[in-house]
Structure 1
């Protein structure tokens, strides 16, 4: 790469002859001009190119798709690294960001696991310091705390040694020391003190999320009244839907205030259940996530861990060695996107929104990223007709 933000000659990159997934529809045969870290202009086949784009490096889209970069709000690691144990040099965080950028993610939330207060604070500190730097790969947009205030009954792969009730003192310390870093926190709304904690999260502009929860339908609705707005890995690690006892799943499906993550890898949730979720929530409230762990991108075998618990990877599926619970995933966002299109039957523009814009808006970043519009950050993907990645630009930088 050469020039500012990795673009040749400082004139940027012009991707033409492509199907541009724009907010108001697909521009068939359109073009998009990336200059510096921003999208400079976008147009259809009849729209004239700006004069200043004449010297831009041209990329032939060859009739493929141009999408906004994916935004993953629930990712623990990849390439052998975990955000909980990334080394103090921050090289581990960079390795995670680089791995996921190669698979279409241009923005992510560094996601924790249930751990001690000290370990969680150290993880937030590392993420904060990384965010203050250049971030040449996928952008770390903030931190998602998954736990430790979750249900022992629905702990999944969370370490039970550190599970406990919500602690407002911890939250106040984290917000004071690391302003703007915490973006989302997952907890069980039925726990003592959880409703006050949810209200405090919302007051700080942090998205309160339900997960690893034994909550009833009524408890989730009461939590939404106090500010709950999100559910992690819907269907997994929560009370299921029954026609006389709707549970957490029933509340998530029916309450329009709550957005719903889903791990679309063919292992965590059946494609028919994802289809039900999409129909119930509408296109704007489904958010694709990977829940990827350190073993993402790594070979099958033992020797992996998630939150200090041994994990075995078999045929790309991660499970706890003891008990066999699913332990995160090895999914990438391009894999989730393709699963939605090929197996669930979601059209490409809608699947793109589920992988990008919906998450960006939930985080309050819809004006910055998540859609292809002039003035927004140049987080852009080029896919061929088979939905294979041909190019990833994060803040205008072409990823290798």
Structure 2
């Protein structure tokens, strides 16, 4: 039997449209070469018996800061490997490493390490380029972001980072109402970078204008943005309503059941549908560890937080300070708490984020795509993880 030829048999295959109840998937040299509606083991292949579990595309997390006690902004190779290994165990096969607000030098240092990681050992997980969350934010909507580093878009700064880290910097979140934010978006989009609105005080008209200039994704919808706002005697639609009303706008949600409780998860699903929603962990370094004290951001410049009740909180418990979720937990929450169909929950964790990030070879179990595959049981507990046709996690 050839080690680079696998047949995953006796499983329930999740496609974007349906579940194949007793199917099989063939993999050769890291590529899916067949999806069958029967349990079929290709001659000469290594058989993997799914044992009736679900066979799904690997999860894709397009907004994640850390896990396993490490944060990407620690800016060391080991931190990148630790975060990747932590989330791999929970079904994440591709991710977009994410920063917090910081000075230009610290951002450049983190991007440099990401560049090195993308070219070398990522612990098995694919890095889809780096996501800069900030520092161009509305101070009033900073959340747990460090106010010392929040500033308006600086052309010298962002043009330098974008040009220097072409191919590494893939996404940037900013507030579209800030002075210079539209010029920033135009420049970034011209260089192939995805721009998303975040930590914003913008109202509906600002968001529509921002969308027209490239702000096509809403970062952690509901968090650090306005809904309906009253000013004097008048009410105004906010960023949340704009995201709902612009049909082509994509949204990401922290579906841990805490940042957004089940009724809001159901509302977002009803308003946007699974083809426009990406599930994201927004996980900080405490993900995958016991609850207790932790640090949000880098070890050098981060802030102390408390992890309890399944979420990170500010020390005075006045607000959230990031998530400790993993992608399997998000899918589980959508299915078991928000009553969303499993096929759609998996789509929001795989094919939709793949489409948003332009990762056309990922996100679905289709012949010719890369063999990033997860197996899980009815409780969405991960049993096997395959990346590029290599089995990296196996608890079958």
TM range (shorter): over 0.9
CA–CA distance in 2 between the matches of 1:11 and 1:185? Answer: 37
How far did 1:132 drift? 0.5
1:14 maps to which residue? Answer: 7
Counterparts of 1:278 and 1:149 in 2: how far apart (Å)? 29
1:41 and 2:34 correspond? yes
Q: SS where residue 221 of structure 1 aligns?
A: helix
Query: What do residues 171-219 of structure 1 show as CA deviations (whole Å, max 9, x unaligned)?
Result: 2222222211111111011110001111112111111101111001110
Quote the residue 2:53 is aligned against: 64
Mark the CA change 1:175 to 1:304 in structure 2 (over 3 Å): closer, same or farther.
closer
Distance 1:117 1:175 in 2: 12
1:267 corresponds to: 258
Q: Does residue 74 in structure 1 map to residue 67 in structure 2?
A: no
Q: Distance in 2 between matches of 1:324 and 1:96?
A: 27
Q: What is residue 116 of structure 1 aligned with on the other side?
A: 103
Which residue matches 2:244?
Answer: 253
Once the two structures are TM-superposed, the CA of residue 335 in structure 1 deviates from its matched residue by 0.2
Cα contact 1:83–1:111 (8 A) shared by 2: yes
Match of 2:371 in 1: 378
Report the Cα offset of residue 301 of structure 1: 1.6
- Between 1:369-378 and 1:127-136, the stretch displaced more is 127-136
Does the C-alpha gap of structure 1 residues 361 and 152 become closer, same or farther in structure 2, counting only changes over 3 Å? same
Q: Would the aligned equivalents of 1:136 and 1:397 in 2 still touch at CA under 8 Å?
A: no
1:307-337 per-residue CA deviation (whole Å, 9 max, x = no partner) reads 5111111233211214632111100000001
5+ residue gaps in structure 2?
A: none
Residue of structure 1 aligned with 2:280, choices 278, 289, 293: 289
SS in structure 2 opposite 1:327? strand
SS at match of 2:73: coil
Residue aligning to 2:152: 165
Query: Partners of 1:60 and 1:93 in 2: how far apart?
Result: 32
The equivalent position to 2:350 in structure 1, one of 333, 351, 356, is 356
Moved more, 275-284 or 171-180: 171-180
More deviation, 137-146/234-243: 234-243
SS in 2 for 1:370: coil
Q: Which residue, out of 316, 321, 327, partners 2:321?
A: 327
**Can you list the C-alpha shifts for 1:195-249, whole angstroms capped at 9, x where unaligned?**
1111112111111101111001110000011111101110011012359421011
User: 2: CA distance between counterparts of 1:230 and 1:108?
Assistant: 17
Aligned to 1:394: 387
Of the three residues 282, 296, 305, the one matched with 1:305 is: 296
| Deviation readout 1:4-57 (Å, 9 max, x if unpaired) | xxxx732422111111112453222110012222212211118x66xxx32222
What TM-score do you get using the length of structure 1 for normalisation?
0.93
C-alpha separation between the residues in 2 aligned to 1:28 and 1:314? 39
Write out aligned runs for 1:202-281 (5 A). Answer: 202-241=189-228, 244-281=235-272
**1:29 aligned residue (13, 19, 22):** 22
CA–CA distance in structure 1, aligned partners of residues 192 and 75 of structure 2: 26
1-structure distance, mates of 2:65, 2:10: 36
RMSD: 1.6
Per-residue CA deviations over 1:279-321 (Å, capped at 9, x if unaligned) read 1112210110000000111122224233511111123321121
The corresponding residue for 2:312 is 318
* Aligned counterpart, 1:188: 175
Aligned-partner Cα distance in 2 for 1:83–1:290: 14
Equivalenced residue count is 386
Which of 372-381 and 174-183 deviates more? 174-183
Aligned residue for 2:186, secondary structure, equals: helix
CA distance in 2, matches of 1:315, 1:287: 24
Is the Cα–Cα contact under 8 Å of residues 10 and 36 in structure 1 kept in the other structure? no
User: 1:347: how far off?
Assistant: 0.7
